A and B are shown apart, each in its own frame.
Chain A
Amino acid sequence: MPGFPQAAPVQGLVGGLLIGLAAAIMLLGNGRIAGVSGLFARAFGISSGDTPRQLAWAFIAGLPLGAGLVELVAGANAQFPAPPLLLIAGVIVGFGTRLGSGCTSGHGICGISRLSTRSIVATLTFMAAGVLTVTMMRLLGLST
């Protein structure tokens, strides 16, 4: 992409369409939101709710299966932060997604496409917080 040599717009769009299709299967097939943080909490019994735990598990198990299939065919490179940062980030993400009732999938994809004001506000908020955090880390010279 001109100006952004590292961007992958085609892969992004294709992958995004697949993610949207996945969420549409959940919505039209099961009448549920493909909200990953909520389904994860449900699968592990951290939250109570009316989603059956088996259903939550089925969805959660599918995620690494799908990613693994793609990795087998095309390979995937991923650069992960060091363990201490992984742990800190994990705790914060877990706490925040429960308090805010959702993450990038539930609010960002399912909620925005439903034109839910609540989800639009949540998405703008976590995007802004993410941008601020990454920018601060760069300015402070903290690397991952």
Chain B
Amino acid sequence: MTRENVLALLSGVFFGAGLAISGMIDPARVRAFLDVTGNWDPTLAFVMGGALLPMAVAWRVLKRRRNPLASNSPSLPSTSDIDWRLISGAAIFGIGWGLGGICPGPGIAALAVHPRSALLFLLAMAAGMGLHKLAFSARSLSRA
């Protein structure tokens, strides 16, 4: 295994552990965070706050160092457009997130706790992603 892949695996393990420790793997807790006018559970705000701290430092460090440790081909998003795709995509994602209380990270991590439900969710998620690919490649074909 390359150093790059080991670091990615380590990152995934920490990420999954963090999701489990914080209770974000539990869809009921996530939905309780979104239920601001109901029986609100603010836990997710603490998770966000906690996660932003190391990352805020990491971005500063990266600015000075330029080169990542293991990768010779860093790839960071450079888009800054705020267009209809971003807004409608985020809104659609938010609706799905609210319906089930599951976003992609916890959905995958939950394979370890609730494999049947997680698998079902992930299959549907992959289908939704495929649907997007299909819809948009069909669109660009009809334009051409």
Contact = CB atoms under 8 A, between A and B. Distances in A.
Question: What band does the interface of chain B fall in when counting residues whose beta carbon is under 8 Å from A?
Answer: 35 or more
Question: What band does the interface of chain A fall in when counting residues whose beta carbon is under 8 Å from B?
Answer: 35 or more
Interface of B: 1-2, 4-29, 31-32, 34-59, 61-62, 65, 67-71, 73-77, 79-82, 85-105, 107-114, 117-118, 120-133
Main secondary structure of the interface of A (DSSP, over half): helix
A118 B111 CA distance: 31
Contact of A17 (B43, B51, B128): B51
What are the 8 tightest A-B residue pairs by CB atom distance, in nearest-first order?
Answer: A62-B12, A16-B50, A100-B89, A31-B74, A94-B128, A15-B22, A129-B94, A90-B124
Interface of A: 1, 4, 6-9, 11-34, 36-37, 40-41, 44, 46-47, 49-52, 54-56, 58-71, 74, 76-81, 83, 85-101, 103-105, 107-114, 116-118, 121-123, 125-135, 137-138, 144
A51 B105 contact: no
